[in-house]
Amino acid sequence: MSTTVLATTSSIMGDQANNFLVVWGIANIISLTMLRVVSKSVISFVGIVFNLDLVYITFRRRSLHGTCNLLIALNALFTAFFEFSYLTELIIASAKLNPVPLSQCFWLQLFPLFGANCTIIFILFIGIDRLLSTAFPRWHSSINTCYYLITIIGLCFLYSLTMAFRTFLVVFQRYPDLGLGCQVADLYRDEAKSMVELANIILNLTTFSCYIGVWVLIKRTKGDVSVRLFKSLTAIMLSVFGGWFLFSIATRVIDQFEIVAAPRWYILFTAGLLQSMADASHAPILYAVSRPYRRAFRDQLSQIKATVFCTERKMNATVLFRIN
């Protein structure tokens, strides 16, 4: 996920609020806002369930304890953290607590903000890990997994804390009482926004370069393992870049052609839904293209069915016993 897009979206929606009110009127802006918040919250709730389940089966399944699998699970965990931001926004909008001062919004959205910044680093390290495992398979298989992951997690936390602290300074020094709808995007202002944008551009380009490098190496390698790796790589690229790339294009087009408020809302609404679907699609895509993940999900589903049916049989047996 790219926090660059979040920052861009914030400025677009915030700066055009007055024009939007003029076009639609107070009553319609409230209903449209709820439509946006509710729809993204529903998708995000599904995404939270899928992503947390992906974390669960990864740590329960020994065959998914490879470094790349664990990084995918960590990315899913922090993606779920970010997705909670929409539920927070839903509660605020439903209870009519908005506008919320940014000083309060910062604390309400702190964990989603942290998760949003962490995910882009984890995606980068997934690409680096796949590049290393393809280019230097023997060395990669001999590394200490514990130290390897601790180093990556430490770097991710350092980056995310740096961005969060810079955002904290800008919000509390300049905009503590500015009232908005309390999206994560609303928190990015001034040089904090510029810092996040520049960092994300660099990280996204680096990630893309890693994936291109893996693709080139895979094309030179033959065998079933390489084919499966290529499918998994393609799935990750689609789930990470698909929704956010389209969202980024939509915001750039709106800025470039100065699209008026009404079409602007529909474009961002549609692109935002695609972005939410992309965040929620990690587990379904891995189920579709990866045999180990598909087997793990099916085993979990079988266990759930067995538990439910067993419970029903026990209840029926208890009823029959009491009748007799």
pLDDT at 10 over 70: no
pLDDT at 7 over 70: no
pLDDT at 62 over 80: yes
pLDDT at 108 over 60: yes
Greater confidence (118 vs 251) lies with 118
Question: pLDDT confidence of 27, banded at 50, 70, 90?
Answer: very low
195-200 long-range contacts, CB within 8 A, separation 24+: 195/163, 195/166, 196/3, 196/4, 196/7, 196/117, 196/163, 196/167, 197/4, 197/7, 197/8, 199/159, 199/163, 200/2, 200/3, 200/4, 200/120
From 63-67, 83-87, 99-103, 221-225, the region with the lowest mean pLDDT: 221-225
In this prediction the pTM is 0.80
Domain 3-289 belongs to what topology? Rhopdopsin 7-helix transmembrane proteins (1.20.1070)
- Scan for tokens 């551009």, then name that residue: 201
pLDDT at 311 over 80: no
pLDDT at 59 over 70: yes
Average pLDDT on 281-295 reads: 86
Question: pLDDT confidence of 259, banded at 50, 70, 90?
Answer: low
pLDDT at 148 over 90: yes
Average pLDDT on 25-44 reads: 72
Residue-level length of the chain? 324
